[in-house]
Every structure is written in C-alpha cells, then in structure tokens.
C-alpha cells in the first residue's frame, strides 16, 4: 500500500509542476551541440520561456506529456518512497534503535535508483512529447518523434538509464545529459545519431557548449523541484491520514 500512496502523492504534485518540466526540457535542448552566439535563443529564463511557450504553442502546451509524466511519477516515486518506507519500517535504517545517517542515505539512494531504472521507459515517452514544439520556437534537434521506430527505444533507454541513475545522485548536469540522450533520434541501424552513450554526450556537450551547457534549465529545474517535493510530501501525508481513518 505504501507504493500506491506514494505514487498517488507524486501524481498530485505533478499536476502542478509539469509545466516547469516542459520548460526545463526545452531549455536543456536549446543550443544543443552549438557554440554560444551561433543559435537563436528562444528561452532566456524559466519565466520568459513559460510565456513564450504559452504564446506560441498555446496554454495546453505547458501540460505536454502530462499522462506519461503522471505515470512516470507514479512508478518512480511510488517505488522510491514505497521502497524506502518498507526499508525503514523493517529497521534497516537504524542501529541499536537509533537512526543511522549512513544507512538512511544508502537506503534512500538505492530506492531512488530502483525507481529511476524501472520508470525509465515512461520518461523516454514524456521527454519526446515535451520536446515537440511549433517550428517558430523549435530548439536543438527537435523532430517529429517516431516513438515506435525500430531500435529507438533500446538505444535511448540503454543510454538514458545510466544517466537517470546519476540524476538521482547528482542532479543538474546529468539531468541535461539524460534529456538529450532520451531525445536523440536513431539511424536505420538503430544507433544514436548524435551520441554513443553517456560519456560521449558529456564530452560533446562540454566541447561545444562549455560548462554552461551542462547547467541549462537549472532555474526551471529548481523552481520545479521545490514545489514538487513540498507538494509530494503534503499529498502523501494527507492521503496517508485519509487511508488510516
């Protein structure tokens, strides 16, 4: 039941924070593999990007990919929070009746990694849908994604899963890499067109865009992260209270 309650709480938060996830994805893809000053900047910051997407793509565009985003949150956070709750209730985070910081950290990391890996296929679909935009504000290598193109899922998932694990542990730079790996097209042989894997994406981004390229969309990411965390915990507590009654 902990898995279901945790997933439901995360979905409730996602309804409010998905627009910033759309903004973050677009900003992370902007200027992909291009040096500074060589491309048109459609999105300057999280607030201006939100307005631009609303003005050009319409209000509903800010909720693109909502269904897979909800499913991703349900799977990812349901597994993450549910697993940690089970580990905690089993006493594995304590030593002689006292909470162990080390055991709690390791347990949280393992629960997060498990959630990220198992929810990775849904994240791929979410990223593809959120990346699509009107040609007037298209960025990077956006294209009309063929979600069921032979080979595309295997390549994107293999590379994206590795990066997703690092996202859980280290956040922003790996989040950018994860978005780009999931979003890249594949050739007829099923190989990634732009990146061969995690390290290749990291190296190319650093070489073409510099350190700044690894921190694109940071504002939108953290504007989303705060409310999402607070809302997730709020909904979790309220749902648990209701369930216990």
Average pLDDT over residues 157-162: 55
Average pLDDT over residues 152-177: 60
Average pLDDT over residues 6-30: 93
- Please say whether the dihedral angle defined by the alpha carbons of residues 7, 8, 9 and 12, taken in this order, is positive or negative: positive
* 61 Cβ contact list (under 8 Å, min separation 6): 22, 53, 54, 133
Please tell me the pTM assigned to this model.
0.83
Higher pLDDT, 196 or 170: 196
Higher pLDDT, 190 or 47: 47
Higher pLDDT, 48 or 108: 48
User: SS3 for 102?
Assistant: helix
The answer to whether the beta carbons of residues 53 and 88 sit under 8 Å apart is: no
pLDDT in the model for residue 71: 93
Cα–Cα dist 49/30, whole Å: 11
Q: Is residue 200 pLDDT above 80, yes or no?
A: yes
11-20, 114-123, 228-237 — which one is most confidently predicted on average?
11-20
104-110: long-range pairs with CB below 8 Å, 24+: 108/84, 109/168, 109/169, 110/83
* CA torsion, ordered 8, 14, 15, 18, to nearest 10 deg: -160
* Predicted confidence band of residue 163 (pLDDT cuts 50, 70, 90): low
The owner of tokens 């859980």 is 168
DSSP letter (8 states) at residue 89: H
Domains and CATH numbers, the chain: 2-244 (1.50.40.10)
Which tens digits make up the pLDDT trace of 217-240? Answer: 989 988 898 899 899 889 988 888
State residue 193 phi and psi, 5-degree precision.
-75, -40
């Amino acid at each position: 039941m902990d898995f279901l309650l945790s997933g439901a709480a995360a979905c409730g938060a996602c309804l409010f924070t998905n627009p910033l996830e759309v903004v973050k994805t677009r900003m992370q893809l902007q200027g992909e593999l291009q040096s500074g000053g060589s491309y048109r900047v459609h999105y300057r910051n999280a607030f201006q990007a939100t307005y631009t997407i609303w003005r050009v793509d319409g209000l509903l565009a800010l909720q693109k990919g909502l269904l897979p985003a909800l499913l991703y949150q349900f799977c990812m956070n349901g597994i993450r929070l549910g697993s940690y709750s089970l580990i905690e209730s089993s006493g594995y985070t304590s030593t002689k009746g006292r909470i162990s910081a080390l055991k709690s950290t390791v347990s949280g990391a393992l629960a997060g990694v498990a959630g990220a890996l198992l929810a990775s296929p849904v994240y791929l679909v979410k990223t593809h849908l959120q990346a699509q935009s009107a040609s007037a504000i298209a960025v990077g290598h956006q294209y009309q994604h063929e979600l069921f193109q032979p080979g595309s899922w295997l390549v994107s998932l293999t590379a994206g899963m590795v990066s997703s694990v690092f996202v859980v542990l280290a956040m922003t730079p790996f989040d950018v890499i994860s978005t780009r790996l999931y979003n890249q097209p594949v050739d007829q042989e099923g190989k990634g067109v732009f990146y061969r894997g995690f390290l290749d994406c990291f190296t190319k981004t650093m070489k073409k865009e510099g350190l700044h390229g690894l921190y694109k969309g940071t504002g939108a990411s953290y504007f989303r992260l705060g409310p999402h965390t607070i809302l997730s915990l709020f909904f979790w507590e309220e749902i648990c209270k209701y369930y216990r009654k």
